[in-house]
Structure 1
């Protein structure tokens, strides 16, 4: 393709870098403007999961089909332990990886560094310490989360533990959320991922560490604190001033579990393809992303309504079958979920609101690190 006008992408997160790479490989001149000094500024080498259950296609195959090389460290996780609200352990298993374990941050081998290297190799100009004051020309907005509906607070550490993945569903550890422990090749991440109760994050983290010490044999060496936050909402158009909005800037995040990486990179690809083909980005994301985003809202509504017994029943069911297939069914649109969606949409915002945090004299992750202007 011949080069047309320059395209500016605001933000060097996964969605922005995937969008930039796809555009550059199609012959467009792309400039990425990032107001922090490097990629992965919100992360510290902590492990995250790239979910692999919401779509029949493997997520790594999806990235390759978009022209994205898998040049970052990853490990497919097919099995793990889930603790129900009574601390009873259940082994879950998938015939294909349930998720891919990745590292986030600026270090070599991380997802963020790998995507940056690909973008630069494709000819993208990346400008750091460059904050965008106003929009002009042809742009894509990928500035990251605008508010905190979910926060994760935890520790990264060295360890002699064997590799493994553990998840715990106990409100004392993570209100309306979950706690997790991920260990791979002598490194680990332990965290509480909470949807409310942000002001008590230190208490929930302390309870999480103690829980995994008792039930998973957690042993940490050289622990370092980390934290993060996510923004979950259902956009109307995913356009702002006529510009495509992608990733967490648009609110593309699973309302049930808070996974957003797959949505982020997919939305970056959709925005790039809409520019290359001069198609409608709004139609593209509504067709490709909206169905599972809506089922995620319904799943969150059902999770909040289930109570301890319902959650324990759900965990038991996941352990008795192929967990990946069960989760794919849970995210598959259906007549029942379409009927439930209007009610779920009205109700799902309320549980995410956090009355414990007024954002005044508060030290929660969002108050310390969020973009509030």
Structure 2
């Protein structure tokens, strides 16, 4: 079996296949697994499902051998700089590091894959493969951008986030500190060309409100995409992770979706089941709800967000956050409007249907209008 891309989705798929006795070869175009990242802290969310994310991975045979820290308390600031202490009885997410270094999520998955018998070929930019293949090559284009710094610090451990358009238009800024290392960044959903300005405001904000202390700071950045997934299978290839559009549109927490999609792709290959049916049942409801949540977040403004954080701070935040991702009547009503609101010009080379109107494709519109977007290089920017 061939897997193209050695991100979390591709490696999760490879691990499950190999442990079931399949011969698996993973092709990664970069020289190192995790090379898109630089040791920055990210959140492996655990609030959108009743099952803890580590238990979900364990049920698929994936061990949490990477560095991880359970986070049940986050200090959140609204657009008026009011402080809200968000707490939960169970972990909201697990703080992990991404990159090619020791104890990162990427390196741990690589080691588990190799220990299971997976052959990983680096600097191998395979674009096609005979027979069935799994494609896990990351985002097609970008409508999410994160820029920030990695640093060393004497600050105590803590998690801070600010939900203000002054720092991150339609997004949020965050400061994550653990064990003398930290990540500070702004996560933008629009106005990408002003990222330097928003990052400077983010640094100033957390310096004032959280005592940010950065030493040996190193800049980093990255992009991602969200939108209604079009298809999970195309011409014998199973699409997983962000390449398929599996992403949380509200906050950009996509790692859980990526890992789950890799496991689902492996299951479909081993069981002979329909992959599209599996991901549509397991992933699509929450993805659609997240797209509706994104529109709601953008429209309610600072007053609405402040009311939301007051509710979250009044009790156990995890059940309330989980409710945001459960299919609801409001979500179904908002979804078609949210899909149009979040649309950006994107061309999906895997889409063969000129009538497709999903956010990720829009092929018919590009082809008919001759828009310049249809001629863009579909590879994501890298930092």
In the superposition, the TM-score normalised over structure 2's length comes to: 0.90
Residues 315-361 of structure 1 show CA distances to partners (whole Å, capped at 9, x for unaligned) of 111111211111001111122322332222222326999xxxx99xx
- Does the 8 Å CA contact 1:151/1:366 hold for their aligned counterparts? no
| Cα shift at 1:83 | 0.3
Aligned to 1:298: 292
Residues 32-52 of structure 1 show CA distances to partners (whole Å, capped at 9, x for unaligned) of 000000111110000000011
Aligned to 1:189: 183
Instruction: Describe the SS at the equivalent of 1:210.
Output: helix
Instruction: Describe the SS at the equivalent of 1:156.
Output: strand
- Does the 8 Å CA contact 1:33/1:131 hold for their aligned counterparts? yes
Name the CA shift for 1:219/1:351 in 2 (closer, same or farther; >3 Å).
farther
| Cα shift at 1:312 | 1.3
Name the CA shift for 1:351/1:30 in 2 (closer, same or farther; >3 Å).
closer
- Does the 8 Å CA contact 1:179/1:193 hold for their aligned counterparts? yes
Pick from 71, 82, 87 the counterpart of residue 77 of structure 1.
71
- Does the 8 Å CA contact 1:179/1:191 hold for their aligned counterparts? yes
- Give the distance between the partners of 2:60 and 2:67, measured in 1 at CA: 19
Equivalent runs, 1:1-373 vs 2, <5 Å: 7-349=1-343, 367=381, 369=382
In the superposition, the TM-score normalised over structure 1's length comes to: 0.92
Moved more, 118-127 or 330-339: 330-339
Instruction: Describe the SS at the equivalent of 2:343.
Output: helix
| Cα shift at 1:154 | 0.3
Residues 191-243 of structure 1 show CA distances to partners (whole Å, capped at 9, x for unaligned) of 00000111111111111001000000000110001111111121222222231
Instruction: Describe the SS at the equivalent of 1:69.
Output: coil
Residues 236-283 of structure 1 show CA distances to partners (whole Å, capped at 9, x for unaligned) of 222222311000111111111011000000000000000000000000
- Does the 8 Å CA contact 1:32/1:127 hold for their aligned counterparts? yes
| Cα shift at 1:366 | 5.7
Aligned to 2:356: none
Residues 64-101 of structure 1 show CA distances to partners (whole Å, capped at 9, x for unaligned) of 00000111000000001000001111100011011100
- Give the distance between the partners of 2:274 and 2:134, measured in 1 at CA: 14
- Give the distance between the partners of 2:51 and 2:103, measured in 1 at CA: 24
- Does the 8 Å CA contact 1:73/1:110 hold for their aligned counterparts? yes
Instruction: Describe the SS at the equivalent of 2:22.
Output: coil
- Give the distance between the partners of 1:327 and 1:89, measured in 2 at CA: 18
- Give the distance between the partners of 1:111 and 1:29, measured in 2 at CA: 23
- Does the 8 Å CA contact 1:196/1:351 hold for their aligned counterparts? no
Instruction: Describe the SS at the equivalent of 1:338.
Output: helix
RMSD over aligned Cα, in angstroms? 1.8
Structure 2 portions without partners, runs of 5+ = 347-358, 360-371, 374-378
Instruction: Describe the SS at the equivalent of 2:342.
Output: helix
Residues 119-143 of structure 1 show CA distances to partners (whole Å, capped at 9, x for unaligned) of 0000000000001133322200001
Give the aligned length. Answer: 354
Name the CA shift for 1:166/1:59 in 2 (closer, same or farther; >3 Å).
same
Moved more, 134-143 or 185-194: 134-143
Aligned to 1:4: none
- Does the 8 Å CA contact 2:140/2:380 hold for their aligned counterparts? no
Aligned to 2:354: none
